[in-house]
Structure 1
Amino acid sequence: MRRLAAILVLLLWAAPSQAHKLKLFASVEGNDIVGSAYFVGGDKAAGVPGRIEGADGSPPLAFTTGPDGGFRLGVMARMDHTISVESEDGHAARFIIRAEDLPPSLPEGKLMAALPETSQIEAAIARQIRPLREQLDAYESRTRLHDVMGGIGMIFGLFGCWAWLQSRRRGS
């Protein structure tokens, strides 16, 4: 019985750890990387420090999320960029923007070039798609009723197996 109580306490203790999980979402709009940091459940991560590191080994660019958890930074070169944020309580998240997602007008390792006509269209489409991608990412990270019911079913199932094994031991 003591083991069952210990397992139940551990299961209940593990649930809140996901409640403050930090998530990061970023996309490309023109020559900018635009994104937001938020906690699972939808709370915005305001004032969280972060940095963007390029694949070329250049010094990281530091930023702080705004009151809505968002950020916007200009990109200087077409390469992979790793975005990371870390809250004061130690939660961290990373997101990688691949070089192929950046406009082809950006030369590798050089200053920004002017956007041609097609890149402006791509930037407008990216602005329209970004909210949909954010909603999808937030939806995937929510805990839904079937997740909770599945967890409760798992607990009852494990308890049933334990009770069955105990009854077989007593019967032998």
Structure 2
Amino acid sequence: MRPGVLALMLSMAPLPALAHKVIFGVFPSGDAIEGELGFSNGDMAVGAVIEVYDTSGTKLGDATTDGDGFFLYTPQSPVAHQFRADLGAGHVAEAVMPADEVAAILGVAKIDPPAPAATAAATAPSVIVASLSDADRAEIATIVRDEMRPLRREIAAYKEKNDLQTILGGLGYIAGLFGLGFYIAARRRLAG
């Protein structure tokens, strides 16, 4: 076979795609909404603009990710918040925080259907829980948030590295090695 033909065939061979997924999550953090934006390979989206909309499409504001791919947004009204980031190259991330979670952040009571008074009084236990000041709660939230950041990244990286395709690929390699071993053993048996 000619070297030029071989080079042409090799250049047309399909290559594995090195794609990665966008990781985008939002969660309550004290009196704000904290979010994380990055890619499944561990790269974080630094300096990305996050646009915030309500369910009708009205823009509520925006935030920018820091050097670790995190952002903070302080909600103003107890409506569902839709977060959107366009990272280019077809990478668009969206996340939603429901209205009841936003209401809890703002300290607005969620309106529930009224329960019968007799049943509620009979089943409600009378427990007093030690209360924390707002400063203590904010400090605890900051500590927990800082401790959770590396865990979230490790979980995302673990999910990406150990997905079903990787597992099936490993099993395929093992089966191929067994087939190669059986082929060599059969050749030796026929030759000897």
TM bracket (short chain): 0.5 to 0.7
Matched, 1:144 2:146: no
Which segments of 5 or more consecutive residues in structure 2 lack a partner in the other structure? 1-9, 111-130, 180-192
Change (3 A) 1:54 1:106: farther
How far does residue 129 in structure 1 lie from its aligned partner after superposition?
4.7
Please tell me whether the aligned partners of residues 53 and 82 of structure 1 are also in contact (alpha carbons under 8 angstroms): yes
Q: TM-score, normalised by structure 2?
A: 0.56
2:18 aligned residue: 16
- After TM superposition, the structure 1 = structure 2 runs for residues 124-163 of structure 1, keeping only pairs within 5 Å, are 126-130=141-145, 131-132=147-148, 135-136=151-152, 138-140=154-156, 141-144=159-162, 148-154=166-172
How far does residue 135 in structure 1 lie from its aligned partner after superposition?
2.3
1:41 aligned residue: 41
How far does residue 154 in structure 1 lie from its aligned partner after superposition?
4.9
Instruction: Measure, in 2, the Cα distance between the counterparts of 1:63 and 1:90.
Output: 20
* CA deviation map 1:72-120 (0-9, x unaligned): 1110011211111111333121111112223262479xxxxxxxx7794
Please tell me whether the aligned partners of residues 25 and 134 of structure 1 are also in contact (alpha carbons under 8 angstroms): no
Range with greater deviation from structure 2 (32-41 or 143-152): 143-152
- SS of 1:61 mapped into structure 2: strand
Please tell me whether the aligned partners of residues 30 and 119 of structure 1 are also in contact (alpha carbons under 8 angstroms): no
Instruction: Measure, in 2, the Cα distance between the counterparts of 1:54 and 1:63.
Output: 15
Instruction: Measure, in 2, the Cα distance between the counterparts of 1:40 and 1:105.
Output: 34
Structure with bigger gyration radius? 2
2:97 aligned residue: 97
Change (3 A) 1:58 1:133: same
Work out which structure has the larger RCO, using CA pairs closer than 8 Å and 6 or more positions apart in sequence: 1
Please tell me whether the aligned partners of residues 26 and 97 of structure 1 are also in contact (alpha carbons under 8 angstroms): yes
- SS of 2:33 mapped into structure 1: strand
Change (3 A) 1:45 1:136: closer
RMSD: 3.6
Count of aligned pairs between the two proteins? 140
Please tell me whether the aligned partners of residues 34 and 72 of structure 2 are also in contact (alpha carbons under 8 angstroms): yes
Identical positions, percent: 22
User: Which stretches of structure 1, 4 residues or more, deviate above 6 A after TM superposition?
Assistant: none
Instruction: Measure, in 2, the Cα distance between the counterparts of 1:124 and 1:60.
Output: 27
Instruction: Measure, in 2, the Cα distance between the counterparts of 1:23 and 1:73.
Output: 18
Q: TM-score, normalised by structure 1?
A: 0.61
Instruction: Measure, in 2, the Cα distance between the counterparts of 1:79 and 1:133.
Output: 26
- SS of 2:18 mapped into structure 1: helix
How far does residue 37 in structure 1 lie from its aligned partner after superposition?
0.8
- SS of 1:17 mapped into structure 2: coil
Change (3 A) 1:156 1:132: same
Please tell me whether the aligned partners of residues 27 and 35 of structure 1 are also in contact (alpha carbons under 8 angstroms): yes
Please tell me whether the aligned partners of residues 77 and 106 of structure 1 are also in contact (alpha carbons under 8 angstroms): no
